[in-house]
Amino acid sequence: PIMKRDEVLSGEHVVRLEKEFYFSEQTTITVEDGKHSERDFQLRSSVSWLSVDTDPKDAKVTLINSKEKPRLTPIKDWKLDPGIYNLRIEKDLYEVYETAISLALGDKKELRPELIRKTGHLDVASEPQGAKIFLNGKNSGEVTPKVLRDLPTGEYTLELRKEGYDIQINQVVVRHKE
């Protein structure tokens, strides 16, 4: 805000307001002798803003078919022209998230997707059956034979323990949808 208490010559004065990312506005103000004048202006935004925050953070956000460079979350007030955007959000070990978002002139929108961890299954068997299954040193509470479903993708140390038998240790990889 500008508060100008100085005396101004009476007559017409042209006032022009400019601010980055807003349309400029120009108007004429008539000042009368000995009178106080006050004016408020509401500038109109010339762009839109998009904020994106994912769980987990550091996901790559790409505007499909756009010249905008991809960014990592969290993104605060990404300045964009009004329009419809197709977004792709990617992070290693998580499913790709895609959505469309419409931005009107002056919009401030927030997108907060929770990314879904990629998962797979692990089919564990032993001879003899009944061995306790440990993953990364933790007891799964299951015994062989067993299919461990919806495990997060990645590498695991698989241990099979059965009283009277040697502990069997293997490195296994759980892949997405396998």
Q: Strand runs (DSSP E) across the chain, as ranges? A: 11-17, 25-31, 48-52, 60-64, 71-72, 75-80, 83-90, 97-103, 108-111, 119-124, 132-135, 138-143, 146-152, 154-161, 168-174
Give 96-147 pLDDT, tens digit per residue.
999 999 998 888 999 999 999 999 999 999 999 999 999 999 999 999 999 9
What pLDDT band is residue 21 in, cutting at 50, 70 and 90?
confident
Q: pTM of this prediction?
A: 0.65
Is residue 19 pLDDT above 80, yes or no?
A: yes
Is residue 4 pLDDT above 70, yes or no?
A: no
Cα angle 63, 64, 68 (rounded to 5 degrees) comes to 45
Half-sphere exposure for 122 (CA within 13 Å, toward CB): 24
Is residue 36 pLDDT above 80, yes or no?
A: no
- Out of 34-38, 81-85, 146-150, 159-163, which region has the weakest mean confidence (pLDDT)? 34-38
How much is the average pLDDT of 146-169?
Answer: 95
How much is the average pLDDT of 159-175?
Answer: 95
Average pLDDT of the chain? 90
